[in-house]
Amino acid sequence: MSDLTTNTAATSAQGSFETEARLGDYFALLKPRVMTLVVFTALVGLLAAPVAVHPFVGFCAVLFIAIGGGASGALNMWWDADIDAVMRRTARRPIPSGRVQPGEALGLGMALSAFAVVFLGLATNWLAAGLLAFTIFFYVVIYTMWLKRATPQNIVIGGAAGAFPPMIGWAAATGSVSVEAVLMFCLTFMWTPPHFWALALFMRSDYDDAGVPMLTVTHGRRATRVHILVYTVLLAGLALAAAFTSIGGPVYLAVALVLNALFLKGAWDIFRRDETQSEVDNFRTERRFFKLSLLYLFAHFGAILIEAGLARYGLGGWA
């Protein structure tokens, strides 16, 4: 065999190896970073509920909610493989990079969805399982297949899918949905638009190239800046009001006051900027606001968790 033939065979074998799916590629289909938020907010919903849950049951509940969230991610990647291949931020995902076949992602997503819903129902109750099933349906069908490519309000309406985990955790513990569960849902729901629109401001070319009707594409960055400010003001009012409910208390109020002041200032700074300023410093203010938005939600739910822990010892809330 000639050196040329040997080198060609080696190159071909190396290319096959690079595109061969590994366990990590299948795990990446589950969107582990998004799953972190799902797990944490679901855990807070479970522990903030006024019902003691056996640790093993609680562990199983959070595990199956996480698996359901991961299943949604796999189905999202299966459907969005065409636009993921165009966007720089997503081009290296397992399907567009060729490491996982679309059919494999579809099969994994469907199997994990059924597994998560059935076993959550068996481990806790069927209300929680039903909410998980609806969440998966909403994210995959209503958001991914329909809203994402149909309306610039895709993030606003589709954000409901990411807001359900604390409500599911609460339902898993109590077998019901209460005002407190709805408040945690609303907190995540109202946080989602400014969080993603800030990202869209400095990633607009990706959405342009993919033809996704993000607000930055359909209405421009000026309108997006206005929307971020309006939603941040509404979010701040909701977050502060929650401090005076049964899931709030002095700790939560202190966290909410500091973070909402910072968040409002960030939204105001974004609103005041023009595109020339943003281009000059590579959207530094928008990127800073996006990073703050990650801390914002985790800190609020962390404060709810602390208040729930204090309440176990009669120290939480305003009593």
Reported as a single tens digit per residue, the pLDDT across 140-198 is 999 999 988 888 888 888 888 899 999 999 999 999 999 999 999 999 999 999 999 99
Assign 133 a pLDDT band (cuts: 50, 70, 90): very high
Instruction: Tokens for 307, please give them.
Output: 């208040």
Assign 279 a pLDDT band (cuts: 50, 70, 90): confident
Mean pLDDT along residues 30-46: 93
Instruction: Tokens for 79, please give them.
Output: 């459907």
Which range is least confidently modeled, 57-61, 66-70, 209-213, 298-302?
209-213
| pLDDT for residue 156 | 86
- pLDDT over threshold 50, residue 16: no
- Neighbouring C-beta atoms of residue 59, cutoff 10 Å: 14
Is the dihedral angle over the CA atoms 158, 62, 47, 264 positive or is it negative? negative
Q: Which residues contact 34 (CB under 8 A, 6 or more apart)?
A: 69, 73, 162
Do 238 and 190 meet the contact criterion of CB atoms below 8 Å apart? Answer: yes
The residue type found at 219 is H
The residue type found at 255 is V
| pLDDT for residue 20 | 60
Assign 19 a pLDDT band (cuts: 50, 70, 90): low
- Neighbouring C-beta atoms of residue 199, cutoff 10 Å: 21
| pLDDT for residue 275 | 85
* Helix 154-163 / helix 165-174 crossing angle, nearest 10 deg: 30
Mean pLDDT along residues 90-114: 93
pTM: 0.88
Query: Whole-angstrom Cα distance, residue 73 to residue 215?
Result: 23
Q: Which of 133, 101, 104 is nearest to 117 (CA)?
A: 133
Tokens 């909610």 belong to 65
| pLDDT for residue 296 | 97
- pLDDT over threshold 50, residue 304: yes
